[in-house]
Amino acid sequence: MKLTDSVLCSHENSDKINCLDFSPNGHSIVSSSDDDSIVLYDCQEGKPKRTLYSKKYGVDLIRYAHEANTVVYSSNKRDDTIRYLSLHDNKYIRYFPGHSKKVVALSVSPVDDIFISGSLDKTIRLWDLRAPNCQGLIHLKGKPLCSFDPEGLVLAAGINSEMVRLYDLRSFDKGPFTTFKMQYDKTCDWTGLKFSNDGKLILISTNGGFMCLIDAFKGMVLHTFGGYANSKAVTLEASFTPDSQFVMTGSEDGKIHAWNGESGMKVAVLDGEHIGPITCLQFNPKFMTFASACSSMVFWLPTIDDSP
C-alpha cells in the first residue's frame, strides 16, 4: 500500500484541535478543541455529525470509552477532574476527582473499563469507569506519560523525559517489572508514548524535531526519526500504522512525515494543506484511513499502489 495525498474532507474549528480519537468500531471520530467544543464526525462521510460544548471546564485529551457513544476527557480550565460523558444525551455519567494539577496523559484500556491518567502532580492514577474512586496510585519523581499495551495487561509510564517503566496491571502497586533508562536530551521534553499494535515497539514523541522508536522488551533505541519542522516546541502527535510497519507524525508546517519502522528510512511526506502545526494524527482501528488535525480536521484515504 502506498500512502498518497488523497484528502477526503476537512472541517474548521475556531481554535486548535487538541485531541482526537476513533471509536473502537472505526465508524466515528471525536475531537476536542481549545474552543471548548467536542465534535463528533462520521468517518465514512468525513463530515461532522454533532457539536457539544464543555464551556465551564474546557476539554482536552478526549478518549472513547467502551460503552457506545461515551467518552472520558480531562479539563483544561476550572479543575483537574476527569469527566465521563454520554455523547448520546450530553450528560455526565461520572466524575473522577483526585489529581491536583493538570492531567497530561489519558489512556483507556483496549479490553475493559479501566483507564489511566498521568498528571503534573507527579502521579499516575488507575481508574474503573464504574466507580468514582481511584483504584491505584503511583507516585513519581517527575512529569508522567502513560499508555496501555494492545493486550491491556501492561502499563508503560514515561517519566521526566528520561526513563520508561513497565507495570503489570495485575500487580500495579508492586512497582515496575522493568525500567529502561534513556539518554536524556535537555533540548526537549517527551510529549507522547504509544505501543505498536503488535506490542513489540514503543514510540516516544517529543516537542523537539525528533522522536524515538524503542524495543518494548529490551528498551533499546531502534531508530531516531527526525527532519521535520518543530522549532516552536509544539506537541505533535505521532502514530503507528495499524500493521505496525510505519510511523507517522505531523509537523509545524502542516506536512505529515512517514518512516519505515524496520529500516528507519523516510518513505513519504504528505501535504494535507494544514494551515498550522498538526497537533493530532491517528489511524482508524478498523479501516485503512487516518485523520490529522490542526484547527481543521482532515481525513485521508490511502490509495493502493499496484506497480511491481
Structure confidence at residue 155 as a pLDDT band (50, 70, 90): very high
Do 178 and 213 belong together in one domain? no
As a whole-number percent, the residues of the chain with pLDDT over 70 amount to 93
Do 168 and 234 belong together in one domain? no
Structure confidence at residue 7 as a pLDDT band (50, 70, 90): very low
The confidence score (pLDDT) of residue 66 equals: 85
Structure confidence at residue 302 as a pLDDT band (50, 70, 90): low
Q: What is the mean pLDDT of residues 44-55?
A: 84
The confidence score (pLDDT) of residue 6 equals: 45
Q: In this structure, is residue 68 part of a structural domain?
A: yes
Q: In this structure, is residue 29 part of a structural domain?
A: no
Q: What is the mean pLDDT of residues 121-131?
A: 94
Do 212 and 184 belong together in one domain? no
Domain with residue 288: its CATH number is 2.130.10.10
Please report, as a single letter, which amino acid is at residue 212: C
Over residues 258-283, the pLDDT tens digits come to: 999 999 999 989 887 788 888 899 99
The confidence score (pLDDT) of residue 307 equals: 42
Do 70 and 180 belong together in one domain? yes
Do 132 and 247 belong together in one domain? no
Q: In this structure, is residue 25 part of a structural domain?
A: no
Under 8 Å between Cβ of 76 and 60: yes
Residue, of 289 and 200, whose pLDDT is higher: 200
Residue 11 CA neighbour count, 13 Å, CB half: 20
Cβ-in-10-Å burial (0-12, 13-18, 19+) of 232 comes to exposed
Do 184 and 204 belong together in one domain? no
Do 171 and 259 belong together in one domain? no
Do 180 and 207 belong together in one domain? no
Asked whether the predicted pLDDT for residue 51 surpasses 50, the reply is yes
Over residues 59-80, the pLDDT tens digits come to: 888 999 988 799 999 987 778 8
Q: In this structure, is residue 37 part of a structural domain?
A: no
Under 8 Å between Cβ of 176 and 167: yes
pTM: 0.89
Structure confidence at residue 288 as a pLDDT band (50, 70, 90): confident
Q: In this structure, is residue 193 part of a structural domain?
A: no
* Nearest in space to 24 (alpha carbons), one of 63, 51, 80, 61: 63
Over residues 16-32, the pLDDT tens digits come to: 788 899 998 899 999 88
Q: In this structure, is residue 61 part of a structural domain?
A: yes
Do 7 and 69 belong together in one domain? no
Do 156 and 69 belong together in one domain? yes
How many other C-beta atoms lie within 10 A of the C-beta of residue 103? 23
Answer with the one of 153, 188, 223 that is the final residue of a domain.
Answer: 188
Q: What is the mean pLDDT of residues 132-157?
A: 93
Q: In this structure, is residue 153 part of a structural domain?
A: yes
Q: How is residue 63 written as a grid cell?
A: 478518549
Answer with the one of 188, 217, 245 that is the final residue of a domain.
Answer: 188
3-state secondary structure the chain: CECCCCEEEEEECCCCEEEEEECCCCCEEEEEECCCEEEEEECCCCEEEEEEECCCCCCEEEEECCCCCEEEEECCCCCCCEEEEECCCCEEEEEECCCCCCEEEEEECCCCCEEEEEECCCEEEEEECCEEEEEEEEECCCCEEEEECCCCCEEEEEECCCEEEEEEHHHHHHCCCEEEECCCCCCCCEEEEEECCCCCEEEEEECCCEEEEEECCCCCEEEEEECCCCCCCCCCCEEECCCCCEEEEECCCCEEEEEECCCCCEEEEEECCCCCCCCEEEECCCCCCEEEECCEEEEECCECCCCC
Do 170 and 221 belong together in one domain? no
Structural domain of residue 301, as residue ranges? 1-15+200-308
Do 150 and 178 belong together in one domain? yes
Lowest-confidence segment of 162-166, 182-186, 201-205, 207-211 by average pLDDT: 182-186
Q: In this structure, is residue 261 part of a structural domain?
A: yes
Over residues 130-139, the pLDDT tens digits come to: 998 999 999 9
Answer with the one of 188, 214, 243 that is the final residue of a domain.
Answer: 188
In the chain, the number of structural domains is 2
Asked whether the predicted pLDDT for residue 194 surpasses 90, the reply is yes
